[in-house]
Every structure is written in C-alpha cells, then in structure tokens.
Amino acid sequence: MSELLLIVTIAGERVALPAASVESVVELDTLIPVPRAAPHVAGLSALRSRVLTVIDCMRSLELGHTDCSDGIREAAVVELDGHHYALIVDLVEDVVEALSEPVAVRAAMGAGWERVSQGMVDTEEGPRLLIDIAALVGGAERQAA
C-alpha cells in the first residue's frame, strides 16, 4: 500500500486521515456560530471566498468540546459531497506513507472512536488509527438517526 496519510492529533491521540481527502491545512481565526446546528458543528468560517462548515472533532467523537474562544485553531479542510468542511484538530503533524492495509482494531476504544475507525494502519511511526472522514463529519447524531 502506498497511500499517504496526514497525521493529526485529536483529543490527545495521534491518528491518521487519508491525505488524498485533505485539500489543505489551515489556521482558522474566525468562527461564526450557527444557531440550531448539530452540536459537533462549531460554526462557519471562510477560506479563499469559500464557506467552510467547521467540525469540532472532539465533540463529534463525544469526548468533550474544543474551546475556540481563544483564537487560532488548526484544521484540515476536506470536501464531501460538494461541501467543504474544516476539521478542528489539536495539531497537524506530518504526512507519512501507509505501510499496510487497515486491519480491524481488536480493543475497546470508546463509542466515538469506534464509529469513525477504518482500522489500524502501519506507518513508519508505528500503528495509527485511520479515520473515516465522512463519519467524523456526520457526528454522533447522524449515527443515532
């Protein structure tokens, strides 16, 4: 397997996003709240004249919420079904090559992580959980519906 992975930290855990799905990595400095949006939608932001729906990854995983009140946040920008999303992460680290296909995780991870998991993939830095971006964007509410 020669897929590239973007290594990010979410809720203190180093995980992998498929790099082919990530358009860019940005720093968000403005966040506009959206009344009555799903709880994991932190708000809206703009990037090069495009509106981004900003997803709080911690809230999507049901691990609390990211405090966005104190300024700039790192985010990975992705496109799903013609819509652009910014995934708020703790830290964007590196791009690495996947050394294996994803394999099932044989341990309890918590409901949020299990919902977004595509399995564990080997990298040069060790195994990383591969995240299903659509499940992360959908949030826990989508699964419940």
The pLDDT of 22-26, averaged and rounded, is 95
Q: How confident is the model at residue 145 (pLDDT cuts 50, 70, 90)?
A: very low
List the CATH number of the domain containing 97. Answer: 2.40.50.180
Q: How confident is the model at residue 92 (pLDDT cuts 50, 70, 90)?
A: very high
DSSP state of 32: B
Tell me the pLDDT tens digit for each residue of 59-90.
999 998 887 767 778 999 999 999 999 999 99
Q: How many domains does the chain have?
A: 1
Residues 6+ apart with CB under 8 A from 11: 57, 58, 61, 63, 64, 90
**Beta strand extents in 11-116 (DSSP E only):** 13-18, 22-28, 41-47, 50-56, 73-80, 83-89, 91-97
3-state SS assignment for residue 10:
strand
Nearest-angstrom CA–CA distance, 81 and 97: 26
pLDDT value at residue 38: 93
Show the domain range for 105: 4-144
Tokens linked to 10: 């979410």
Tell me the pLDDT tens digit for each residue of 98-120.
999 999 998 888 899 999 999 99
